[in-house]
Amino acid sequence: MKNVDYQSAIDVLRKRAEEELAKGYRAHHYALIYAANELENAQAFGQEVGHES
């Protein structure tokens, strides 16, 4: 299985989450943090991430 580096995407998501929280959009913040966490987990365990639910 190939190892995918999602770190740049994780960083962008976390930065955007901070911006959304600063604007008062808590739900957007939580959704972005969730997405960053999913990528971080995939990166840690060497999994590829799909967009299906």
User: How far is 31 from 14, CA to CA, in rounded Å?
Assistant: 10
- Higher-confidence residue of 48 and 32: namely 32
Residue 1: pLDDT above 60?
no
Kindly tell me the burial class for residue 53, based on how many C-beta atoms sit within 10 Å of its own C-beta (0-12, 13-18, 19 or more). Answer: exposed
Alpha-carbon dihedral 40, 41, 43, 44, rounded to 10 degrees:
110
pLDDT > 90 in the chain, percent: 66
Which pLDDT value is given to residue 43? 87
pTM, entire model: 0.79
10-25 mean pLDDT: 97
